Structure 1
Amino acid sequence: MLKTDAIIIGAGPCGLSAAIHLQRLGLDVLLIEKGSIVNSIHSYPTHQTFFSSSMKLSIGNIPFITAKDKPQRNDALVYYRTVAELEQLTINSGETVLSVEKTGQVFHLTTDKGVYEASYVVVATGYYDQPNRLEAVGADLPNVHHYFKEAHPYFRKNVVVIGGKNSAVDAALELERAGANVTVVYRGASYSPSVKPWILPGFESLVNNGKIRMIFQATVEEIRRDAVRIRTETGVEEIESDTVFAMIGYHPDYNFLGSIGIELEQESGCPLYNEETMETSVEDLYIAGVIAAGNNANSIFIENGRHHGEAIALSISEKMKANC
């Protein structure tokens, strides 16, 4: 059994930030990540451009310098790897936490590779591994995907993109450029206000010129291997489709959070925590990053979630002083 001061579950940007600040307190810190370092960013589309500037994505007061103001996916991968090296962070990647239990003042963590003890635990697991599911017949067919990587395989294919926010619009744009026949189906009455302002004019232009078909106020009723059936205000329509991208958002792993004792608000899905310290109702158990937002993932991003580590470090620092 390995004993350490603090364990952070999840090695995304917010988990890395928390590790840096805790390590600077003099604590021994271990990050446990079931995928690779910044796994969610690695899963982004190959040519993804961030909404935030590189400065707002930086952590640990280590500059993130790029040629363009808004970095792309690969820029971020290089930066966060470099930060992990500079800060000499200990990261167990490819290891899944199965359970977290607290006995007295000590947390016991069991993973698929070992057992650990720690005085403090920070959960920074994000939400990208938990896509929202469609309530439609055929939603689990193999031609339905919740992640978009790149458009090349869909040249001259009929593709239906479900959703109307950034991930859906980005995917539709890349697919159209690669020669796919793209239809976007969205339940909203107009474009989401969260769509990045610098890409919406180009997207609307493609819609207006018939390059992309955009259908608002539409509900998906059934997905088949060759078509998608939708219902709109004017009735039922079937759209030919080889592939479906259901880009309808993601959510935290509520089962895991509940299993380790974190209480959740039923309606919002938000964990109950102290907003000043990020500490949950379980003493010495903290959260960091987008999971603090529950179902409203658009309220916390890297640029504000990265500061959670500072709040956690301050809280633990005060506890350490009180115990001296």
Structure 2
Amino acid sequence: MEHLLGYMEKELIGQRQNIRLLVAALLAGGHVLLEGVPGIGKTKMVRTLSHLIGGESKRVQFTPDMMPSDIIGHVVFNMQLNHFETIKGPIFANLLLADEINRTAPKTQAALLEAMEEHQVTIQGVTYPLPEPFFVVATQNPVEYEGTYILPEAQLDRFLFKLNMQYPSYDHEKQILKQHLVQAERLGALPLPIYSMEDILIERQKLNDVVVDDSLVDYITTLIRKTRETTRLQLGASSRAGIAVLQASKAWALLDNRMYVTPDDVKTVARPALRHRLILSPQVELEGGTSDQIIDETLAAIPVPR
């Protein structure tokens, strides 16, 4: 796992935290929403991971005219064989890169709901299981950009993490430009898979052995309930959000070669696990407040278990 993380950090300079959170989500069995302006490496991050973990990976470029059947599949009549035939869509993959998911209409976005939650799809009344592991990474441009559709709350809630990718620092940007100068020398050289799908499933089984103390369960429960009590939020975190924080904390501990969860693990995953599940009050939005600020303030107000 350290080898995988090290390779990704070398390829994607300045994105160490987001890379580790992306891999933690894979271990936890959740899905990830990547948000950031165009050209900062969202798609490259996912494609690099797909090469390293093997399995079947597919990419869907979402457009305004895309239909649900373009993703999940459809039934056609085969005139040669004289029977109906099911054509499975690109969703039948271990890793699905849903590129610019907020550029397609809500009807098509909703086609992913059943797949992300139940790992199955229904085509013309027939249910088909998806490959395991099944991991969706969706990218989106910031919602204020032209030609985007806001993802509905039900869709956002299916993502374990929402990761915000920012512009790199001066030093990191300089490294990226230097890296580009030598990129031509290894053009077309894709990394060999480090993990197989079976390896990922074995790593996921280890999560069952990660110990979570009762005091940390209380800590997470208090955090979730506090978000429902503040007047600064129209909508607080759900029970599913609490499960997301718990599962993500265990995955983060496993990435750190520990079989027990600490309060710092909870603090690390709280932002990406909750920021897309909270709806700010109009007053907070007018003042320029963010979900991250409220999460940080809520964590600061809760006694840390010892």
TM-score, scaled relative to structure 1: 0.24
Q: Which has the higher strand share?
A: 1
- Bigger radius of gyration, 1 or 2? 1
TM-score, scaled relative to structure 2: 0.25
